[in-house]
Structure 1
Amino acid sequence: MNTKKYDVAVIGAGPGGYVAAIRAAQRGAKTLVVERRFLGGVCLNVGCIPTKTLIRSAELYRLMQRSAEFGILTDNVRLDLTALMTRKDKVVSVNTGGIDALFKANGIDCVIGEASIPAPGKIAVNGETYDAANIIIATGGRPAVLPGLEFNGSTVIGSTEALSMTRVPERVAVIGAGALGAEFACIWHSFGAQVTLIEMMPTVLPRCDEELTKRLAQIWKRRGMDVRTGTKVARLEHLDNGVRLHLEGDSPGSVEVDTVLVGIGLQCNSEIVAAKPSLGIRLGKRGGIIVNDRMETDVPGIYAVGDVTDRTWLAHGASHEGIVAATNATGGNMRVDYRVLPACNFTSPEVASVGLTEAQAVERGYSVRCGRFQFAANGRAHALGETDGMVKIVADSRTDEILGVHIMGPEAGELIAVGALAMSMEATVEEICRTIHTHPTLSESILEAAEDYYGHGIHTRPRKK
């Protein structure tokens, strides 16, 4: 039997892989995708999309409990977890079905199975071997496990199990206050669970600007969440009716809960490379495939994108890397600029950022000045009933170059695109000030933060001289 030949073969159909495949096909390449489980990868099936669907339900539930503030009287607001999960599954199905349709529309062949790379230029799956002039590895990641806190599917779970729960636990501990853990903590807290959030770093969302995250922790505590930073789990003890966690650090002691969610992030699915050292592809200390800014590995014709590279751990970052890899694999010349890579934590309230934090900018030697604006002074935020949070612009005081934009508050994930675009266009703070913003909108807060940078914000109290 003749071996099938492809210009580009992509292993993995998550946000990095399926985007890479479509871009390669758009550029005229005969393209193959091999996916071992389901189209869309973790993000569409057991990650970004289902999580945000639950977050939407949590937002509505929380809002309905406050409906009297808006002049709407409701009685006996109840949570139907079965219906909620059914909607989540429907949203996932629509999105994954869309990928299948796009593959067919672009003439992309797709094989379901476990792939291996027996040699450069070759892919093996389901007993067949395919020739591929270029290979893009997009195998993603999986929930990381802490020693002593291994998942058992009932009292100790990961994010995948959390997306299919049949009841809201009365008491839950979330270990890890990064994006994954913090989002689930907010979901369960909105659904009425007693939540203890445990983070070993000094602040929640440790990668974000500390000024915002300290305020975020205060907001959560005010709402009744038990937030313990600078604290880690020393030991887990199984009880007849749950789990007891023994803690050490800034908040020592113990806490008894029904369910523990370990949400400390992901680990790379790089076994496809680790199992074949003769390929000559290097792995980093955390198991990620080492690539350059063209997404090339050490082996010509083999690229890697997304979580398997241990670079961004962001779906949109993986998609952009996929476009870069596919472009280069089909004769183009493109590089990734990680300087402008926005991120959003879909917590309550949301926290989004792009560029450097204030601390990072100082550490890198910039002469830093910041502009700030509180959503409590924004008219649209008051109309929405969501006034917690702020916008912060970090800039170089010598040139007014924007180094970072950080937003905590309503629709932060949507607003951060303004900051990303400004940085991509190398706009200065002054150029934001010159841009007319629609009223009344949340986006005016970005304008106000830019005005505050110069000390003349309209809706900000004058700075003390």
Structure 2
Amino acid sequence: MSSTKFDVIVVGSGPGGYVAAIRASQLGLKTAVVEAAELGGICLNWGCIPTKALLKSAQVFEYINHSEDYGITVSDAKADFGSMVKRSRGVAQGMSKGIQFLFKKNKIEQLLGWGKVKPGKKVEVEDKEGNKTTYSADHIIIATGARSRELPAVKIDDEKVIGYRKAMTLDKQPKKMVVVGSGAIGVEFAYFYAAIGTEVTIVEFLDRIVPNEDPEVSKTLEKLYKKAGMKIMTSTEVTAVDTSGEGCKVTVKSKKGEETIDCDIVLSAVGVVANVENCGLEDVGILVDRGRVQVDEYYKTNMPGYYAIGDVIPGPALAHVASAEGIICVEKIAGQQPEPLDYNNIPGCTYCSPEIASVGYTEEKAKEAGYEIKVGKFPFTASGKASAAGAKDGFVKLIFDAKYGEVLGGHMIGANVTEMIAEIVAIRKLETTGHELIKTVHPHPTMSEAIMEAAAAAYDEVIHL
């Protein structure tokens, strides 16, 4: 019989929960994790990781289709949708097994079933057979994550109107697809399906796609998506989806009036909603406001001994944010003095093609915050490495405080920019100035040189423009 008493119990094993558990174990705390589905949560099994595998398949297919640009002749390449999905699932399963290994290595106990927090620092776990076991801990961390948000006019039926989960396991490739919402999930799936030959229409309620990004990034992506054959409808609302026929009839309303789009599948990608229901929060008296658990800077709820991290609390619903929150939370529990997370310095990455990466203020937001700014931009058309790689789309844009030279924000669109943004995050953390960045020698030829050049452009010292 396993123990029912722990130092820490984490409810949920996503990138918030499993990371918190491993760090807690490293710090000498007896730790258990409650999970009703697969270890690794949505991120590893149905989100970040398997989508990147699908996107890689699409990218390889595009490489093959444009192989003549590189002096290689390939004929009759076909996208095998089923095999792409199978590869993606294999990647996800491998990652989930990796978490199992880490749990064993760190002596973390897995409690399989649906977890509900109870008063008195207890967690009730109900297994598939309906058996309930109660466990107790000095510290209980709620890391139950989030799920697809549903619009009233776009009801998900998992057949014709689907969320992200179904989008990566469809039985067959749709001929026509309407993607509702153009945040990271929407534009990533739009790219994947369009690249393998599906006719894609993106419908966005706001006035531009990827609306959280710098407007210049949005404009560039829209231009490239249209060039790739996608139809983009901004400032447009989906008012109805009729699934009674063979396919779907999507009614959309814009300034031009109403129109109907025919398609096989509608993908709803309008954000996420936190999993706060059926977790026992009300029984314990944990404060939830606007659908998110309320916490302090060290993730304590209003009830002593109960904490919450990740998508279930306010803030960006990102895997790396959840992991950072989990580490800070358990370090504080263990008596350390971790620095609270700086939510102004969180990188956001979108893995469409070209990729998008950003951190900090956009130009607009920096001005709104009262800064006098300097802006430097360097296009990849002027980068030797980008030319050699055949990846000349996009740019790096940096925003500096004119007074002190501090980097206020970085915005990139281009090949592999998700691998480049960490440099901006690090230099913002270290409070580096624009002049220091210009004098930081970057290797040649690399895409990352564009960062140095963008900084130089802000101070009228750019060499290659």
Name the stretch that deviates more: 208-217 or 442-451.
208-217
Q: How many angstroms apart in 2 are the aligned matches of 1:284 and 1:414?
A: 35
Superposition map of 1:47-62 within 5 A: 47-62=47-62
The verdict on how the C-alpha distance between 1:221 and 1:29 changes in structure 2, with shifts beyond 3 A counting, is same
**Superposition pairs of residues 407-426 of structure 1, within 5 angstroms:** 407-426=412-431
Q: Secondary structure at the match of 2:253?
A: strand
Structure 1 CA distance, aligned partners of 2:344 and 2:265?
39
> Do 1:117 and 1:272's aligned partners in 2 also have CA atoms closer than 8 Å?
no
Deviations 1:111-156 (A, max 9, x none): 1101111114111113211110001100000111111311122211
Match of 2:137 in 1: 132
Q: What is aligned with 1:8?
A: 8
Q: Distance in 1 between matches of 2:255 and 2:408?
A: 33
Relative to structure 1, the CA distance from residue 120 to residue 183 in structure 2 (aligned partners, 3 Å threshold; closer, same or farther) is farther
CA contact (8 A) 1:157 1:260 kept: yes
Pairing 1:431–2:421 present:
no
Q: What is the identity, as a one-letter code, of the residue corresponding to 1:39?
A: L
Q: Is the Cα–Cα contact under 8 Å of residues 373 and 402 in structure 2 kept in the other structure? A: yes
Residues 231 and 251, structure 1, Cα contact 8 Å, conserved in 2 = no
Q: Give 1:240 deviation, angstroms.
A: 2.4
Deviations 1:179-232 (A, max 9, x none): 111110011010111100000011111111111111211111122110111111
> Which of residues 327, 339, 353 is equivalent to 1:323?
327
In structure 2, the CA distance between the partners of 1:250 and 1:348, relative to structure 1 (3 Å rule), is farther
Amino acid at match of 1:312: P
Which residue does the alignment assign to 2:129?
A: none
Moved more, 367-376 or 244-253: 244-253
Q: Match for residue 354 of structure 1? A: 359
* Equivalent-residue separation in structure 2 for 1:423 and 1:54 (angstroms): 32
Q: What is aligned with 1:463?
A: none
Map 1:299-378; keep pairs closer than 5 Å: 299-334=303-338, 335-378=340-383
Cα gap change, 1:326 to 1:203, in 2 (>3 Å)? same
Worse-matched range after superposition: 32-41 or 212-221: 212-221
Give yes or no for contact 2:118–2:283 (8 Å, CA) kept in 1.
Answer: no
Q: In 1, are the aligned partners of 2:154 and 2:238 still within 8 Å (CA)? A: no
Letter matched to residue 143 of structure 2: A
Distance 2:355 2:463 in 1: 25
Q: Which sits farther off after the overlay, 91-100 or 295-304?
A: 295-304
Deviation at 1:239, TM superposition (A): 5.0
SS of 2:293's equivalent in the other structure is coil
5 Å-filtered alignment, 1:91-110, equals: 91-110=91-110
Deviations 1:300-319 (A, max 9, x none): 22111111114111001111
- 1:223-234 correspondence to structure 2 within 5 Å: 223-234=228-239
Other-structure match for 1:269:
275
* CA deviation map 1:279-337 (0-9, x unaligned): 2211121x111112211111122111111114111001111011011111222222211
Query: 1:105-184 maps to which residues of 2 (within 5 A)?
Result: 105-126=105-126, 127-184=132-189
Cα contact 1:8–1:329 (8 A) shared by 2: no
1:25 corresponds to? 25
Length-normalised TM-score, structure 2: 0.96
Which residue is 1:215 aligned to? Answer: 220
- Counterpart of 2:260, as a letter, is S
Give the share of equivalent positions with the same residue, in percent: 39
Contact 1:200 1:230 in 2 (8 A): yes
Opposite residue 419 of structure 2, the aligned amino acid is E
CA distance in 2, matches of 1:221, 1:3: 58
Which residue in the other structure is 2:242 paired with?
Answer: 237
- Show the 5 A alignment for 1:272-311: 272-273=278-279, 275-285=280-290, 287-311=291-315
Residue type at the aligned position of 2:55: I
TM-score (norm 1): 0.96
Deviation of 1:241 after TM superposition, in Å, equals: 2.6
Q: Which moved more, 1:201-210 or 1:441-450?
A: 201-210
Shift of 1:389: 0.4
2:153/2:238 contact within 8 Å kept:
no
Could you say what secondary structure the match of 1:15 adopts? coil
**Residue 405 of structure 1: SS of its match in structure 2?**
strand
Contact 1:121/1:134 (<8 A) preserved: yes
CA distance, structure 1, for counterparts of residue 78 and residue 255 of structure 2? 37
* Displacement of 1:250: 4.0
Contact 2:145-2:274 within 8 A present in 1 as well: yes
**Aligned partner of residue 271 in structure 1, secondary structure:** coil
Asked if the contact 1:301–1:329 (Cα under 8 Å) also holds between the matched residues in 2, the reply is no
Structure 2 spans left out of the alignment, 5+ residues: 127-131
CA displacement at 1:168 relative to structure 2:
1.6
Long gaps (5+) in structure 1: 461-465
How far apart are the structure 1 equivalents of 2:112 and 2:223? 47
CA distance in 1, matches of 2:447, 2:392: 10
Q: Is the 8 A contact 2:153 2:239 kept in 1?
A: no
Q: Is the 8 A contact 2:203 2:233 kept in 1?
A: yes
Contact 1:228/1:251 (CA < 8 Å) preserved in 2?
no
* 1:251 positional shift: 5.4
Distance 2:69 2:267 in 1: 33
Mark the CA change 1:177 to 1:294 in structure 2 (over 3 Å): closer, same or farther: same
- Structure 1 counterpart SS, 2:343: coil
Q: Residue 339 of structure 1: SS of its match in structure 2?
A: helix
3-state SS in 1 of match to 2:19: helix
SS at match of 2:286: coil
Equivalent in the alignment of 1:72: 72
- Corresponding letter in the other structure for 2:302: D
